[in-house]
Amino acid sequence: MALSVVWFITAALSFVHLTPLTSLEEEYHFKQWMQQHNRVYDTEEYYHRLHVFTHNRRMIDHHNAGNHSFTMGLNQFSDMTFDEFRKFYLWTKPQNCSATKGSHVSRTGPHPESVDWRTKGNFVTPVKNQGNCGSCWTFSTTGCLESVNAIATGKLVSLSEQQLIDCARNFDNYGCLGGLPSQAFEYIKYNKGLMTEEDYPYKGHDDTCSFVPTLAAAFVRDVVNITVYDEKAMVEAVASLNPITFSFDVTADFMHYKEGVYSSTWCKNTSVSVNHAVLAVGYGTEENGTPYWIVKNSWGTAWGKDGYFLIERGRNMCGLAACSSYPLLLV
């Protein structure tokens, strides 16, 4: 009997230790969020996710009550710890992406004060969703090539991320564990083409290469790397040519980004610390004078500002100027 009492007390203390003191209001918000995102848990998992959700929600509220250039919000990741998020959505295979001396040739200015390729014509495909796979590098690659191809030909065609996941490993890419757009462009160049999304649809996991050469729809003649940390050259490329890929270091606060110009003191800014690849489709300046990039992400339209985010420009924020690239078409 005494042992049973001791066991009960120990179990109760463990439960208290693992579960935060959540209010009824917080649990109500969690249940609303579960319904919105179609989440179902068993009892043990429910209390664990309630703990994580409550922690994230309090962090979001605390951030939004302060003086910051961006706001946070609940999203599809709100029941995840950052360690879990990093495992499923970011590179887990370290990448050194620097191009110390790039091959981009800058043109003389002046350049427009703002550019947005989404408003220039039908040059940017809709936001996609990588799912539980660290394949952001493939979406950055296809997004850029789709735009470059559309600008050159007038036809916007969605291209295959899955082909890159399955087939580009010989170019130092690792499927759902990570890779680099510049290396993916190299693969497309030497492979002689990339298929469409329709012909080689996305699965969101590593699979066997099923490339069909006769169905290749986009071709790369060469890869252009922008010199490491040369953010002015990045601006010049977006202003005069096309959207460009870049990679940066995602930290826990970015996971909850909602709107505004993202800026962080948590992230690192070196070429060896980047863990996520995206597509810069434009740039501009806030009314308060803060310059920013307009960036397309690959976490679906429910995240951020309809799947996009703004990030501070001109300071190599989170290493975003460490490795930027774009392809030249073979037409």
Residues known to be catalytic: 136, 276, 297
User: Rounded to whole angstroms, how far apart are CA atoms 92 and 105?
Assistant: 33
Closest CA to 239 of 90, 116, 127: 116
For the record, the structure tokens of 266 come out as 């948590």
User: Rounded to whole angstroms, how far apart are CA atoms 118 and 133?
Assistant: 26
Closest CA to 324 of 135, 96, 118, 99: 99
Asked if 264 and 253 touch (Cβ cutoff 8 Å), the reply is yes
For the record, the structure tokens of 188 come out as 């497309």
Q: Which residues of 310-327 are buried (b: 16+ CB within 10 A; e: fewer)?
A: bbbbeebbbbbbbbbbbb
3-state secondary structure string across 202-220: CCCCCCCCCCCHHHCCECE
Whole-Å CA distances, 324 to 125, 129, 309: 20, 21, 17
What is the per-residue DSSP string for 159-173? B-HHHHHHH-GGGT-
- What ranges in the chain are assigned the alpha helix state H? 2-18, 24-36, 43-64, 82-89, 136-153, 161-167, 181-191, 231-240, 252-255
